[in-house]
Amino acid sequence: MYQVPQTTDAAVEVEITELVQKGCLLNAKLTVSSSSSLTFTEKTSRELVINDAVAFQVRLVVVQIKSHYTTTYNNLLFVKFTKSRLDDDLNYTILFNCADFNVTQTFTTDNGTWHLVHQNKTDKHILSFNVSVEMHLKENASPYAALHDDTELTDFELRGKDGSVRVHRTVLAAASPVLRRMMSGAWREASEGHVDVSGTSRATLEHLKNYIYLHELPQTGLEQLLLLSCYYMMPELERRCVDMLVRDLDSRNACDLIQFAAKNNVTRLLLAVLECVQSGAISVSEIRDHLGERDETKDE
């Protein structure tokens, strides 16, 4: 592996401009300024955090080679992806794309290794380039998939407002510390063999079971599943629900999601939506225009 030279030289500046972030997606333009008088320069961009989970950085190394009457620049571009939280046990897959250099590579979060993604030799140093980064949760096979359709060994019920779902105590206990406490000790749920999930539909409980057993998420009804993930302290499910909601975020549903997050104290969702607005993925004026159109429709 190419070893990145260590230097404190600040002659090369890598500025991040035109930054747009939307959940697990990041697009940015990087502009480079350099002194042509130096034979070696290196600079690292500021750190960008994707969806409060993965930190991303770019490092550019420029080596100037002079020979007789010609000058050649050896440009080397490195990227690094690391988890932004020390207590994060999840693994992420990152798709890195730079169309300017015809580069598309997939990485996983690691110990902070600098990866060489592009190298060229030209008569000038790199001036600017655009990058796109897309982050996904790395899926592991669920150990409970074979029990999803089992009916003989189920010994517990999740009861909603319009029906119930049969499950296995041990599977629920492994998925949620809250449910684990409910099913042990002197809790009423432990002796009665069920837990009442007030205000929750049977469909949402099925979605919860599908996630716990199969790691599957629905295409609709994510808001109610998100509330369950918060209540039962299931951070991975919470993160995935937020990611899917933000992926479909636009000016038509932004205000509704903000109100939903604020009303139910879902901080992760609220911050994710506000970050999209701040980065320019959607604009306040677009949201205002949509709200105006909606009010006009109500008045008709």
Judge contact between 107 and 98, C-beta under 8 A.
Answer: no
Which region among 119-133, 190-204, 247-261 has the lowest average model confidence (pLDDT)? 119-133
Distance CA 252, CA 120 (A): 44
Distance CA 105, CA 94 (A): 8
Per-residue pLDDT, 231: 96
Per-residue pLDDT, 3: 46
195-209 pLDDT per residue, tens: 999 899 999 999 999
Of 278, 277, 260, residue with least CA distance to 269: 260
Distance CA 168, CA 149 (A): 11
98-110 pLDDT per residue, tens: 998 999 999 988 7
Given a cut of 50, is residue 145 above it in pLDDT? yes
- Output the six-digit token pair for 100: 């300017």
The confidence band for 91, taking pLDDT boundaries of 50, 70 and 90, is confident
- Percent of the chain's residues with pLDDT above 70: 91
CB atoms within 10 A of CB 5: 11
Per-residue pLDDT, 25: 86
The model's pTM? 0.71
Per-residue pLDDT, 123: 80
Distance CA 80, CA 101 (A): 17
Any residues with CB less than 8 A from the CB of 147 and at least 6 apart, and which?
Answer: 153, 168, 171, 213
Of 136, 94, 95, residue with least CA distance to 247: 136
What is the mean pLDDT of the segment spanning 22-37? Answer: 78
What is the mean pLDDT of the segment spanning 137-149? Answer: 84
Judge contact between 267 and 274, C-beta under 8 A.
Answer: no
**Of 300 and 46, the one with more pLDDT:** 46
Given a cut of 50, is residue 5 above it in pLDDT? no
Per-residue pLDDT, 10: 44
Per-residue pLDDT, 49: 87
